[in-house]
Structures are given as C-alpha cells and as structure tokens.
C-alpha cells in the first residue's frame, strides 16, 4: 500500500462505532505500510453538498454557471483523491436501512460517466482500474508472460512455504478480494493432495488450489472455480468457507457467452491476440498440439487449431493480396 484514502461518514463523533472500526483498520494497514500517504475526508464533520437543480449539470453534464463550475471543481477534487489512492477505507454506518446521505452525496460526486465508470452492453463498468492481480504458477515462462503482458504480480509456488500466509503478507494481511481456482484437479503443489487426489483417486482430483483460494481470500470475499474437478468427493476446508462468509461460484468456462465481451476487449485495444496466440496448428495435428500445450513445451500460451476450410480461405486471401 502506497496511498490510503480514509472516509468517515458518521454524524456522531464521540462513541461512533464506525469511526472506531475505521481507525483500527487504518492502524493495522499502517503497521505493514508505515510510509503510506494518508488522505482523510470526514463527511460527517464537513459534508459534501447534495446535488441540486443549480449544481447537477456540474457533475452529470456540461458546467456553465458559477454554481455548476463549483460543483465540477469539487467533483474533480474528490475524483483525484480517489484515483490517487490504492487503498480506500470507508466508514459506512447504517442509517434507515441505507448509508448516510453524506456518503451518498460523496458517491454522487465521484460517479461520473466517462471518468470513473462507463455504460456498455454488459452494464456499467468501473474505469478506475489499477487493481492488483497476483498470478500463482510454477511455470516460469508463463509467469514472465503475465508480468510483461498484463503487468501482474507473480508468485512461483515452488518458492513459497505457506501460500495463505504469503498472499496475506502481500495484501496487508487482508487477503485477496477474489481468488480464482483456474487449475482444478490436476494441480501440483501439495504431496498429500497429489497422492490422494491424483494417484490414489480418493478425491475427484487434487484440491490444492481450492485450499489456497479459500485460505487466501479475505473474509466475505469471493472464490471462483473454473478449473475442472471430477463430480464426486473432494476434501475442502468448508468450515473456513462458512466462518469467513465466502461466496463460491463455479462453472465450466461459458465460452460462447464471453465471445462478444472478448471481441469488445480486442476492439478497444485492451487485449492483443497476436501476443496471446503462440501456436497455429492444422486441425489434423491436434494430438501434437495437445501434447505441446499440456506438457508446457515451446513456451506455449495459446494454440489455435486451423481447419482445412479456413486454410483454403487464408490461401485465397493471401493470393488476392499478391
């Protein structure tokens, strides 16, 4: 953590429960990052004005009047604070089954279409980004690839004794917001799991990564399972799931549903398939292609199989170019 934004919204000062919780959280965060820059907003003591007929266009449209320009200036200032922070602590007491209106006014000033979020066919999308992604793997060329291609942080699990402790240390002892098990039953990394899950078939695959995901995610966090397991028994720490209040979602990749979103990522330049596709193999050579992929040979990241009909089209296109 380099920069921390602390927001209090309780109208109470003495005896405020949310303020006490906020301070305890800030103290804990600063213990592991004492150099972090701290910016504070006390919405209970210095409220942000609510949007009105006079000020609305300052945030949601084009400012023209003095009042609208003043609203835009405040909105810019609050968005700049938000952008600058890599960690945000918000004290949000419950007032009449919702958040205090002071906090709502803050949200109304920082949520600006085109600045902090945008609308798309898939619904509203956050634009602040800058989320940390930590990739855990043992294959060095893949770790190098995600560092270079997607600016991810990487952990080689062969160099780590206790994965949960390691990830917690990396996240100021909070744990990750979301852990994705993208490996499934073929996982390496635990002798006991490999023995019982893969060799003796006492489980539906080695649940090594599922254990790591459940134990590395923060309380109330999400665990997503896209790695494949067999349909029967797995020894997973279900008690930790309950005690941490986790949400678990699982599915085989819904490839067709995600294609339009992937194409949008490519169109908008966020993904460059040329760098992801490392191998193009004729469909008839699929067995060799699978061997290269599963044995992690030749720095393989993504293989595309080209059927004969597509090769004919490619040949026609190529000759048309000459």
Site residues for ligand FMN per CB under 6 A? 10, 12, 16-19, 93-97
CA gap 213, 51 in Å, rounded: 42
Q: Which residues pair with 98 in a beta bridge?
A: 95
Name which of 100 and 175 has its Cβ closer to ligand FMN: 100
Name which of 4 and 22 has its Cβ closer to ligand FMN: 22
User: Residue 165 Cβ, how far from ligand FMN at the closest point, in Å?
Assistant: 32
User: Residue 78 Cβ, how far from ligand FMN at the closest point, in Å?
Assistant: 21
Diameter over CA atoms, the chain: 80
User: Residue 106 Cβ, how far from ligand FMN at the closest point, in Å?
Assistant: 16
CA gap 318, 310 in Å, rounded: 12
Name which of 8 and 193 has its Cβ closer to ligand FMN: 8
CA gap 187, 208 in Å, rounded: 6
User: Residue 85 Cβ, how far from ligand FMN at the closest point, in Å?
Assistant: 21
3-state secondary structure of 140: helix
DSSP state of 285: G
What would the two tokens of residue 286 be? 């699929």
Name which of 71 and 90 has its Cβ closer to ligand FMN: 90
Give me the residue whose beta carbon is nearest to ligand FMN. 93
DSSP state of 306: E
Name which of 16 and 190 has its Cβ closer to ligand FMN: 16
User: Residue 269 Cβ, how far from ligand FMN at the closest point, in Å?
Assistant: 44
User: Residue 220 Cβ, how far from ligand FMN at the closest point, in Å?
Assistant: 18
Name which of 96 and 252 has its Cβ closer to ligand FMN: 96
Contact 13, 47 (CB under 8 A): no
Nearest to 25, CA basis, from 247, 218, 245: 218
Burial of 161 (C-beta count, 10 Å sphere; 0-12/13-18/19+): exposed
């Amino acid at each position: 953590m380099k920069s921390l934004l602390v927001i209090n919204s309780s109208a109470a000062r003495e005896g405020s429960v949310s303020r006490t919780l906020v301070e305890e959280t800030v103290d804990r965060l600063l213990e592991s990052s004492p150099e972090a820059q701290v910016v504070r907003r006390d919405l209970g003591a210095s409220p942000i004005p609510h949007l009105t007929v006079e000020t609305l266009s300052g945030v949601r449209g084009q400012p023209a009047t003095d009042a609208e320009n003043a609203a835009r200036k405040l909105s810019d200032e609050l968005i700049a604070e938000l952008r600058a922070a890599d960690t945000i602590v918000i004290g949000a007491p419950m007032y009449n089954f919702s958040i205090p209106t002071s906090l709502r006014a803050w949200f109304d000033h920082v949520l600006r279409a085109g600045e902090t979020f945008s609308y798309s066919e898939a619904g509203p999308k956050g634009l602040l980004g800058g989320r940390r992604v930590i990739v855990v793997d043992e294959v060095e060329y893949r770790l190098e690839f995600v560092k270079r291609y997607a600016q991810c942080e990487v952990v080689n699990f062969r160099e780590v004794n206790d994965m949960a402790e390691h990830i917690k240390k990396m996240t100021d002892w909070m744990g990750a917001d979301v852990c994705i098990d993208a490996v499934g039953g073929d996982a390496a990394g635990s002798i006991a799991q490999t023995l019982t899950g893969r060799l003796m078939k006492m489980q539906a695959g080695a649940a090594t990564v599922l254990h790591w995901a459940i134990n590395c995610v923060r309380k109330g966090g999400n665990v997503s399972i896209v790695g494949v397991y067999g349909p029967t028994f797995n020894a997973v720490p279900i008690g930790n799931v309950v005690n941490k209040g986790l949400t678990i979602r699982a599915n085989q990749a819904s490839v067709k549903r995600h294609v339009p979103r992937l194409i949008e990522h490519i169109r908008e330049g966020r993904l460059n398939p040329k760098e992801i596709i490392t191998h193009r193999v004729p469909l008839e050579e699929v067995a060799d292609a699978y061997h290269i992929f599963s044995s992690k040979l030749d720095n393989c990241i993504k293989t595309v199989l080209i059927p004969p009909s597509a090769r004919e089209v490619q040949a026609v296109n190529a000759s048309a170019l000459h």
